[in-house]
């Protein structure tokens, strides 16, 4: 044991004696490498080729899994696949899409979903974030509780919601029966929510169906946690002096929110609006987990992504499904550009 201690002590003395020479040698090596890279950039390469070389792995991954599938989908949309052969169809699939009633029905379902979820989710999340911002004790606990639904797998959460809304065995209908209310078939109901609320005064095909409304309610519950955290971050960055000055001038909470908080939070609102719109147009997991492919009565829960999936894997219409997917991608790009042009004017950056 004493021999081991003496050995460690001797090694420490040697390392201490060589510490300065080792550092000097390391500095010389790094200086030589720096000079080598400067010589390479000055003689043969410029900064752009060197940066491209260093970023080539990232470009390869993005090109393989991002850019290539996009162009390949456009390529597939130009053909009509009839097994075992395919024929060039040019823009025939696109012409078929814009004349297909099922395509427009899926687009209408998607628009109902986008318009019905984004404003409600943002309003609820902002209200919750404002309340959490004003409490001191338990803020971290409540923030975690509100964020838990977002980090839970969509399929798992949607499956639990579907079980809760089961017409026969679901606890929601059991609770309604305890209150003496009429049970509903929820995810199987194709009649519109407005038709049910007005007792038939509004036509059954106007507005989202009850089944689609359940999917929308799930999305509001699932996505609000993410927005709450983002809103809290934005509220924390607002100087407290501005709100205090507004209160001294006699402004109430509503006036302070409208005149001070929301203008400063405009970049946060714009970010959430753009991201939520793209996500809503691409929604698939919740629809598929709660309603399958949505081919119930009148296809009231079949949005565009589920419609694309059904054409690909149920009907084998590869070219037509690729054409609808391309139209969806172009629509998302167009919607994003419009948001930048219109909503971006009201964004105030400090």
Q: Which candidate, 212, 215, 222, places its Cα nearest to that of 125?
A: 222
Q: What is the count of structural domains for the chain?
A: 2
Q: For the segment 109-130, what is each residue's pLDDT rounded down to a tens digit?
A: 999 999 999 999 999 999 999 9
Name the average pLDDT for the chain.
84
**For residues 189 and 210, is the Cβ–Cβ distance under 8 A?**
yes
Do residues 112 and 234 share a domain?
yes
Q: Give the C-alpha separation, 207 to 194, whole Å.
A: 7
DSSP per-residue letters across 13-70: HHHHHHHHHHHHHHHHHHHHHHHHHHHHHHHT--HHHHHHHHHHHHHHHHIIIIIHHH
Query: Would the pLDDT of 82 be above 80?
Result: no
* Token pair listed for 83: 């097994």
Do residues 6 and 106 share a domain?
no
pTM, two decimals, is 0.82
Report the CATH number that the domain containing residue 216 is assigned in CATH.
Answer: 1.10.3720.10
Bigger pLDDT: 4 vs 211: 211
Helix (H, G, I), strand (E, B) or coil at 209: strand
Query: Would the pLDDT of 20 be above 70?
Result: no
Q: For the segment 214-264, what is each residue's pLDDT rounded down to a tens digit?
A: 999 999 999 999 999 999 989 988 888 888 888 888 888 888 888 888 888
Do residues 191 and 309 share a domain?
yes
Do residues 105 and 248 share a domain?
yes
* CB atoms inside a 10 Å sphere around CB 29: 10
Cα–Cα separations (whole angstroms), residue 28 to 16, 18, 25, 38, 268: 19, 15, 5, 15, 48
Q: For the segment 151-208, what is each residue's pLDDT rounded down to a tens digit?
A: 999 999 999 999 999 998 899 999 999 998 889 999 999 999 999 999 889 998 899 9
How large is the average pLDDT for residues 17-33? 58
Q: Give the C-alpha separation, 322 to 308, whole Å.
A: 8
**Can you give the residue range of the structural domain that contains 217?**
95-346
């Amino acid at each position: 044991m004493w021999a081991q201690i003496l050995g460690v002590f001797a090694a420490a003395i040697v390392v201490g004696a060589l510490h300065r020479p080792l550092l000097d040698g390391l500095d010389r090596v790094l200086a030589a490498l720096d000079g080598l890279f400067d010589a390479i950039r000055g003689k043969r390469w410029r900064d752009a080729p060197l940066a491209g070389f260093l970023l080539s792995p990232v470009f390869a991954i993005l090109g393989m899994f991002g850019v290539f599938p996009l162009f390949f989908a456009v390529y597939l949309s130009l053909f009509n696949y009839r097994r075992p052969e395919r024929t060039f169809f040019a823009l025939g699939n696109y012409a078929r899409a814009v004349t297909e009633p099922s395509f427009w029905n899926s687009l209408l379902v998607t628009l109902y979903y986008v318009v019905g979820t984004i404003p409600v989710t943002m309003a609820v999340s902002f209200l919750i974030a404002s309340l959490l911002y004003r409490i001191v004790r338990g803020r971290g606990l409540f923030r975690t509780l509100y964020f838990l639904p977002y980090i839970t797998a969509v399929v798992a959460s949607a499956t639990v919601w579907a079980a809760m809304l089961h017409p026969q065995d679901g606890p929601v209908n059991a609770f309604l029966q305890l209150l003496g209310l009429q049970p509903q078939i929820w995810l199987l109901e194709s009649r519109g929510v407005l038709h049910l609320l007005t007792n038939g005064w509004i036509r059954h095909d106007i507005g989202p169906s009850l089944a689609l409304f359940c999917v929308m309610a799930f999305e509001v519950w699932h996505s609000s946690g993410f927005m709450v955290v983002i809103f809290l971050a934005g509220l924390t960055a607002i100087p407290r002096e501005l709100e205090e000055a507004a209160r001294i001038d006699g402004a109430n909470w509503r006036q302070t929110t409208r005149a001070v908080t929301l203008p400063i939070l405009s970049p946060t609102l714009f970010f959430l609006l753009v991201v939520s719109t793209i996500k809503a147009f691409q929604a698939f997991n919740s629809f598929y987990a709660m309603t399958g492919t949505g081919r119930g009565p009148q296809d009231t829960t079949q949005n565009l992504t589920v419609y694309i999936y059904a054409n690909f894997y149920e009907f084998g219409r590869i070219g037509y499904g690729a054409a609808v997917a391309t139209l969806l991608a172009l629509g998302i790009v167009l919607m994003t550009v419009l948001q930048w042009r219109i909503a971006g004017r009201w964004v105030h950056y400090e």
